[in-house]
Amino acid sequence: MVKRVGILLIAAALSIALAQNAREVLQSMIDTLDAGPWQARLVGKVRVPSGDLEAIEIVLKTIPKAEVARADFIKPDALADNYVVRTKDKVYNYLFVTNQVVVYPIDRAKVEGLGFDFAKGGNPKDLAEAKDLSWTLSGEEETPQGPAWHLTAKPQDPDSLGFASAELWVLKNPPRPYRMRFLDQNGEVLADITLKAWKRAAFKESDLLEFPPDAEVVRK
């Protein structure tokens, strides 16, 4: 009995240590991202409304201190030249074909044309800070960009975020996001994205919030 209690205590201690490590990894990543404006190219696969997985390529630009992020779509072809801007309280979805800016309150935001909602899951920092995601450090892996921590999480309410589980790979030096993967309740991939060409940038908030002057504004 004493031996069993000892094993349970060790297991509990290890669980607590892993949880603390997960928080430390996420905080080190956040500290790197918060140090200044940055951009990266997001490349991978994403589920579209037809149910198929299609290639996706996005240029993500963000100013963490201003809480503004912009995603310019290059692929899939149906979304090429569209872009999404997220602020503290709104999401602006620019649609190239109709030359419209669709404005959503943050709690009802969505990105048209995708089966996975990048307005809720496309920014690594938002994932790290999401209150209804509990992250666990699953281990370490080698990646083409260097050694990385592998973290996993499940939302308390899958419907609120649009996915049933998430994985995040964080490079060790410097600590920054390398890969994000999202699964549905059946374990099927909703999106699998790798961050490439990550670098510091010098753009301003007004640069990210720039829209065509003749675009029609539609508020939801």
Residue 158: is its pLDDT beyond 90?
no
Question: Comparing 136 with 19, which gets the higher pLDDT?
Answer: 136
Residue 124: is its pLDDT beyond 60?
yes
Least confident of 6-15, 148-157, 177-186: 6-15
Identify whether the C-beta of residue 40 lies closer than 8 Å to the C-beta of residue 200.
no
pLDDT tens by residue, 72-119: 999 988 889 999 999 989 999 999 999 999 999 987 776 766 656 665
User: Mind listing the domains of the chain with CATH numbers?
Assistant: 2-219 (2.50.20.10)
Identify whether the C-beta of residue 215 lies closer than 8 Å to the C-beta of residue 99.
yes
Cα–Cα dist 125/99, whole Å: 29
SS3 66: helix
Residue 204 φ then ψ, to 5°? -110, 170
- Distance, first Cα to last Cα, the chain: 61
Residue 204: is its pLDDT beyond 90?
yes
By C-alpha distance, which of 120, 127, 121 is closest to 106?
120
Between the CA atoms of 156, 162, 166 and 172, what dihedral angle is there, to the nearest 10 degrees? Answer: -110
Question: Comparing 99 with 154, which gets the higher pLDDT?
Answer: 99
Residue 16: is its pLDDT beyond 60?
no
Alpha carbon 127 to its chain's center:
6
pLDDT of residue 9: 42
Q: Where are the beta strands (DSSP E) in the chain?
A: 38-47, 53-63, 68-75, 83-86, 90-95, 100-105, 133-143, 146-155, 165-172, 175-183, 189-200, 216-219
